[in-house]
Structure 1
Amino acid sequence: MTGAASAGGRRPARPSPPLRVAALLAAALLGGCAVVGPDYQTPRVAVPGRWSGAAAAQQRQQPQLSQWWRRLNDPVLNGLIEEAISGNLDVATAKAKIREARATRREAVGGLFPTLSGSADAARNRTGGTSTSSAGAGNITYNTFSAGLDASWELDLFGANHRAVEAATYGVEAAEADLRATLVTLVGDVATAYVDARGYQARIALARRTASSQRDTAALTRTKFTAGSASAVDAANADAEAASTAANIPLYEQSFAQDVHQLSVLLGREPTALAERLKRTAPIPTPGRPLPTGIPADILLVRPDVREAERQLAQYTAKVGQAEAALYPSVSLTGSLSTSGTKIGDLAKNSSISWSFGPSVSVPIFQGGQLTAEVDIARAQRDQYFIALRSAVLTALQDVENALVNLSTQRRNAAQLGQAVKGYQDAARLAHVLYQAGSESFLDVLTADRSLYSAQDSLLQSRVAITKYYVALAKALGGGWDGAIDSSKPEVVDTNTGPHLAAAQN
């Protein structure tokens, strides 16, 4: 941010760089710590006031996303989602990233404290005499013992370490948001694959029923052909129509198997783990009441990927200050304490103790532009994450609007297809009655059967699409697992990590 001009229209004179450094150094010594670089403030991101594709009643209520999948009233789906939360590998990876981020923060916090290290030494020494001395004369054997402590503490006068802790803290929050975003994606993917699988089961059942009915019609046509009331062309067409419908069944079974494989992997299990469990046909899950959407501003608080992008922006804003702090002097307090003697009992006696203590100052004078380049790098990275935040918001808005318009359109499409199915059912029933009575040609029966099967299959696909768009809307609004998640348990538990003999490598 730029400062405002003074009342007289002239900006106040800025002190020279050496004076600024001296003033900051004095303030740091008196106040304890100063920081350089920008202080993070949550940016304001413009969003529309309402959703264009949602009804007013939907937007008057806050999004109701807690376990939204239970609105589909499918116990099997509920169980699969719970198993996926505990077994999914992407979730396990996100948990590991949280543990990494927390360890990184602990490491950064450690930089705020003094360091202390100890040393000890024992040696057996021998000095020899001159070559002209008698054998063994002048040789002296003796022991030496020493022990010491070394301590140092960087005063962090310009906040480099504090900015590192700040950045690491934001990194932990970003990792936690990443876990929530992973859960949103996981729940949506499990629900989508499950609905898709149930849809293929329904299409397989429809194809089998239709093919069976068409084989009955083919048998009747062959009987009529034998009696001379139908042609050989009619009999061939009837057989071909039944075979054509039956040919869809293997393709639907293939797609169903792929959905089952995907569900199994999402649960962190082998691809065929759920084959027997999902073998039995079940209805396509259908949503009930419309899902409240709230207003667009709600996604800034609810969508975890938007939260993650905002926390990453905060993290890299702090890193700008961390890079700028390297442009200023650093002051450390160092001290050492040592004792030595020829006997262990001589250690820690006044005559054998030595110590030193004092400050050390490091001033960057010439670095070939490396330090300023690092600041420019940090600023450019911060800009990238600011753009990523804006992109995340726009993507979230697009996801919701797309889901709303898709869901609304598909509901209207399903209503029209339902009316079409009723009409084709009446037409097919009448065509079969007239054909059996000899008052209708087989071509009319063939056309009616094809139209009915096509409309019924399209209606099933539309019902699947409605539920999948409902899932997409819940996912776009940020709905995911809102229960507790334990991210502290490591996936790999090491044993026998103390000192031990190295195992032979194969």
Structure 2
Amino acid sequence: MIAGERQARGIGTAFVIATAVLLSACTTLGPDYKEPEVAWLKSWQSDLYGQLESPEQQTQVDLRFWWQAFNDPVLNGLIETARHENPSLRIAGLRILESRAVLGIASANQYPQLQQISGAATYVDNKQSGGAGPDIHQNYGAFSAGFDLAWELDFWGRFRRGIESAEAGFFASITNQQDVQVLLSAQVADLYYAYRTTLLRIKIAQDNVALQKRSLEITEQLFRGGQETELDLQQAKSQYLGTLATIPEQEANLVRFRNALSALLGRPPGDIPELASVGGPLPTVEKAVITEIPARLLLRRPDIRTAAWQVAAQSAQIGIAQADYFPAITLLGSIGWSTNTLDGSPEIRSFAGGPALTWNIFDYGRIRNNVRVQDARLQQSIELFQNSALLAAQEIDDAAISVVKTGEQQEPLSGAARAAERSLELANTLYREGYADFERVLDAQRVLFTQTERELLNISAHISAVITLYKAVGGGWVDMPMEQMLPETVREEMQTRTKWGDLLTAPLPASADGQARKTGESK
């Protein structure tokens, strides 16, 4: 008995020593992540076509809430509602929970992968009859219990790389949620002002219809009195009906914009009470207020941060694949007990422990080609990151020039619209006094309709360009706790269905918008 105990202690000591030696020799395969450098960004010194300002030149707009620069309470309320009710934003929040759980799975691989209790209670009834021997009948109960442990040591960094990849995926889900906020804010603002623009287009058309209808009525009276030709009558009718026909199309557009806005607010198609009071002219917005260098803003855009985290997640996959080149070193342990109810049967106790090695030495290129697959995917993610940066710069530049040029158009278009109004007044006066024919009046009405609508559409385009520029520089997102991402009813339903612990309320890390950290700094 004493010798057995000594043997067990010796095995246990050897087990501990072997574990310590193996863990101290651990290494991590694969490349350590380094964020790709955007080489051209150092020399890209865009001044946004003269719009880049210092903080002293103008009151700085908080990019997180850039829409407040429009000073429109209705718009502020719509964006706030969308942040709480939008389905896409809610889904993005749920993906954060999903990726956090995936990170938990990866982290668990650091510990013994198999910790299994087994047990059995069996009734056995054996009957043996016939033949040269005596008949035998045995019935008894057999019992056994055991505990098995298997711990594959992270000798080559397979599991550490897995944690690194899962953590990068977790941070990517956070920045993706931030990017959805950016897109959502811009979409709500764009649709809101498209709706208001359409209201004004309908009013312009209705005003022109009323004006042209009056001209048509006068022309009909003169025609019946023999003072005008049928040509003047038909031209007046054609212009009136043509303008009247534009209204149904704009009314249909109005409903489409309203329905699109309803979807962003998480509502079915129908009236939006918040829009009942909107009206009047569009706001005057000279330009976007950008006081920070665009190159810096570009790298902080949530979609660029997401692309960077995706590179980090894929970089770790190379090390995971390379670990298959080397043996898997596992520490095994087993404790067992068994007995049965037969008279004189002993109780059997067993203990086994020690390292084990498995090594797939002939894989016929499978491992090598898997490493190549992961490396090719890494390069693809790097190229996607570079392309995302290029497209972001293009979006910023396109929006900036649109803001500038639509701003430059406002004054001449406004002048043209006022000139068209005066032209119509003069044409009516000359027509009444007999110095001009009715065609001059019709031309003046047509020009007035065209120029007034062009002026409105340019103002709308300018507002849209300002919104796009704020979106392009990554404005419109805030750090949202999980309580804001998911309403209480959803969190309660999920907690009832599954044990989430504190994950539904746990704070999110604040470093997701920064550079990925090196291996070993994640926890």
Sort the TM-score into its range (normalised by shorter chain). Answer: 0.7 to 0.9
From 354, 365, 370, the counterpart of 1:369: 365
- Asked if residue 79 in structure 1 is aligned to residue 77 in structure 2, the reply is yes
Contact 2:430-2:436 at 8 Å conserved across structures: yes
1:109-142 Cα shifts (integer Å, max 9, x gaps): 111001311011001112224326999x632221
Residue 269 of structure 2 corresponds to 271
Deviation at 1:152, TM superposition (A): 1.0
CA distance in 2: counterparts of 1:112 and 1:43, whole angstroms: 29
Deviation at 1:289, TM superposition (A): 5.3
Q: After TM superposition, list the pairs within 5 Å mapping 1:285-324 onto structure 2.
A: 285-287=283-285, 290-292=288-290, 294-324=292-322
CA distance in 1: counterparts of 2:480 and 2:349, whole angstroms: 57
Contact 2:53-2:291 at 8 Å conserved across structures: yes
Contact 2:90-2:486 at 8 Å conserved across structures: no
Q: TM-score, structure 1 length as denominator?
A: 0.86
Matched residue type, 2:119: A
CA distance in 2: counterparts of 1:201 and 1:469, whole angstroms: 20
Residue 240 of structure 2 corresponds to 242
What is the aligned residue count? Answer: 469
Residue 36 of structure 1 corresponds to 29
- Asked if residue 338 in structure 1 is aligned to residue 333 in structure 2, the reply is no
CA distance in 1: counterparts of 2:53 and 2:27, whole angstroms: 49
Deviation at 1:199, TM superposition (A): 0.6
- Asked if residue 119 in structure 1 is aligned to residue 114 in structure 2, the reply is no
1:344-396 Cα shifts (integer Å, max 9, x gaps): 9x99x9x5311110100122311111011111111000000000110010000
Contact 1:300-1:307 at 8 Å conserved across structures: no
Residue 99 of structure 1 corresponds to 97
Q: TM-score, structure 2 length as denominator?
A: 0.83
Contact 1:28-1:34 at 8 Å conserved across structures: no
Deviation at 1:294, TM superposition (A): 2.1
Specify the SS of the correspondent of 1:339: strand
Deviation at 1:221, TM superposition (A): 2.4
Matched residue type, 1:172: F
Q: After TM superposition, list the pairs within 5 Å mapping 1:429-444 onto structure 2.
A: 429-444=425-440
Contact 2:128-2:136 at 8 Å conserved across structures: yes
Matched residue type, 1:278: L
Deviation at 1:49, TM superposition (A): 3.7
Residue 5 of structure 2 corresponds to none
Residue 452 of structure 1 corresponds to 448
Contact 1:52-1:401 at 8 Å conserved across structures: no
Contact 1:63-1:477 at 8 Å conserved across structures: no
- Classify 1:37/1:483 alpha carbon distance in 2 versus 1 (closer, same or farther; 3 Å): closer
Specify the SS of the correspondent of 2:136: coil
Contact 2:288-2:469 at 8 Å conserved across structures: no
From 421, 425, 428, the counterpart of 2:421: 425
Residue 45 of structure 2 corresponds to 50
Q: After TM superposition, list the pairs within 5 Å mapping 1:191-270 onto structure 2.
A: 191-270=189-268
1:154-189 Cα shifts (integer Å, max 9, x gaps): 111110000000010001011111111112111111
Residue 106 of structure 2 corresponds to 108
CA distance in 1: counterparts of 2:375 and 2:48, whole angstroms: 39
CA distance in 1: counterparts of 2:382 and 2:219, whole angstroms: 71
CA distance in 2: counterparts of 1:149 and 1:372, whole angstroms: 37
From 347, 352, 355, the counterpart of 2:348: 352
Residue 146 of structure 2 corresponds to 148
Q: After TM superposition, list the pairs within 5 Å mapping 1:390-401 onto structure 2.
A: 390-401=386-397
1:219-265 Cα shifts (integer Å, max 9, x gaps): 22233334444333223322222221111101111111111111111
Contact 1:400-1:473 at 8 Å conserved across structures: yes
- Classify 1:151/1:26 alpha carbon distance in 2 versus 1 (closer, same or farther; 3 Å): closer
Gaps of 5+ in 1: 1-24, 499-506
Contact 2:61-2:69 at 8 Å conserved across structures: no
Specify the SS of the correspondent of 1:218: helix
- Asked if residue 282 in structure 1 is aligned to residue 279 in structure 2, the reply is yes
- Classify 1:436/1:151 alpha carbon distance in 2 versus 1 (closer, same or farther; 3 Å): same
Deviates more, 1:407-416 or 1:285-294: 285-294
How many percent identity over aligned positions?
30
Matched residue type, 1:362: T
CA distance in 1: counterparts of 2:37 and 2:338, whole angstroms: 64
> Over aligned residues, Cα RMSD in angstroms?
2.8
Runs of 4+ in 1 over 4 A off after TM superposition: 25-28, 59-63, 132-135, 487-492, 494-498
Contact 1:118-1:148 at 8 Å conserved across structures: yes
Residue 404 of structure 1 corresponds to 400
Matched residue type, 2:28: V
Residue 515 of structure 2 corresponds to none
Deviation at 1:437, TM superposition (A): 3.0
Deviation at 1:153, TM superposition (A): 0.8
Deviation at 1:432, TM superposition (A): 1.4
